[in-house]
Amino acid sequence: MAEQIAGQLSQLLERIADEVAPLRGAGTVADYIPALARVDPGRFGIAVADLDGGVHGAGDWETPFSMQSISKVFTLALLLAGSDEALWRRVGREPSGNAFNSLVQLEHERGIPRNPFINAGALTVTDELISLVGDATGELLAFLREESGNSALRVDEEVAASEAAHADRNLALTHFMASYGNMRNPVATVLDHYVRQCSIEMSCRDLVLAGLFLAAHGVRRDGSQLLTCRQAKRINAIMLTCGTYDAAGDFAYRVGVPGKSGVGGGILAIVPGRCAVAVWSPGLDKRGNSVAGVAALDHFTTLTGWSVF
Ligand code: DON
């Protein structure tokens, strides 16, 4: 059954693209980063990369878009690959139940973010990665280029400038954590790297190739081991419980695999042991997740039976 589906993935993705067509343009494009508001809300793409090396796509699957918070998965992976478990003294591993950019828990919880995928947690990861490697953004870009095979991947400077000019919320989060002693590098440095990481442009095709190590128990495309099996399992677990913020319960209910969304409208989903799936459609629901993207993933895991449940 699984082999039969794998042979028909291209047709399946076309079918899913047709089924979610009425949802193209539903929701709202993120406008708190003004450069993102200019994206056509009617775009939709979906891609799958499986562990046998197959890559399939439908719709706008080769069009680059702003990866935004999907970058948080990769910075976490790079940090854990190169360090011990010290991060977990600075960041928790529980769902926040709050918006991705919320400040409210930080004061009650003494500057320790709930998890590495809300903005506060990702800022802490970026801070740690800077301390570990120096040029955290350069490290991330090099990794993404190598895994995707796309050496043209770059930071979209217009999006980065736009986000940097509207970063009051993230600045507040970072300063607040610094006030509790939970920031090692200068706030401006951490924010600059964080914003540039979020502003990297990738297509669904690039994303599934770059994220495949999470389906492959930590093994990179060249066969080398980035993460141990245990580390890969743990990152997938945090994606499932925290990757779509205060919608993580609903995402698990509808899709049933680990997923990480971004306000550019992309979602990277992982079927452990089998494949990586990426969707892109810029219209977002109230929690910042792509409306057509979540629906497409719901169809994908239902039609294939490939979910962790
Ligand atoms: O920091 C921000 O607000 C954005 N650069 C990223 C937020 C994001 O993608 C949340 N995801 N759904």
Structure tokens at 226: 């980035």
Per the domain annotation, does 228 fall within a domain? Answer: yes
Instruction: Indicate the pLDDT class of residue 2, thresholds 50, 70 and 90.
Output: low
| Alpha helix positions (H), 134-167 | 136-148, 157-164
261 is a catalytic site residue: no
Per the domain annotation, does 98 fall within a domain? Answer: yes
Give the CATH number, domain containing residue 166: 3.40.710.10
Residue 158, pLDDT > 80, answer: yes
Per the domain annotation, does 157 fall within a domain? Answer: yes
Closest residue by CA, ligand 1 atom 7 = 69
pLDDT at 232: 98
Model pLDDT for residues 254-307, shown as the tens digit of each residue: 999 999 999 999 999 999 999 999 999 999 999 999 999 999 999 999 999 999
Per the domain annotation, does 309 fall within a domain? Answer: no
| pLDDT (mean) for 129-150 | 98
Residue 1, pLDDT > 60, answer: no
Closest residue by CA, ligand 1 atom 12 = 262
Per the domain annotation, does 81 fall within a domain? Answer: yes
Instruction: Indicate the pLDDT class of residue 84, thresholds 50, 70 and 90.
Output: confident
Ligand 1 atom, smallest distance to 245 CA: 12
DSSP H/E element including 21: none
Q: Which of 100, 166, 173, 279 to mutate to test the pocket of ligand 1 (most atoms within 8 A of CB)?
A: 100
Q: Count the alpha carbons within 13 Å of 99 in the hemisphere toward its beta carbon.
A: 12
Per the domain annotation, does 199 fall within a domain? Answer: yes
pLDDT at 53: 85
What sign for the dihedral angle of Cα 137, 131, 166, 103?
positive
Per the domain annotation, does 100 fall within a domain? Answer: yes
Check pocket membership of 263 for ligand 1, CB cut-off 6 A.
yes
Give 194-258 as a DSSP string.
HHHHHTBEE-HHHHHHHHHHHHTTTB-TTS-BSS-HHHHHHHHHHHHHHTTGGGHHHHHHHT-S-
Check pocket membership of 293 for ligand 1, CB cut-off 6 A.
no
Check pocket membership of 259 for ligand 1, CB cut-off 6 A.
no
Per the domain annotation, does 287 fall within a domain? Answer: yes
ipTM rounded to 2 decimals = 0.98
Check pocket membership of 163 for ligand 1, CB cut-off 6 A.
yes
Ligand 1 atom, smallest distance to 264 CA: 9
Number of domains into which the chain is organized = 1
180 is a catalytic site residue: no
Domain limits for position 219: 2-304
Q: How many CB atoms lie within 10 A of CB 275?
A: 27
pLDDT at 274: 96
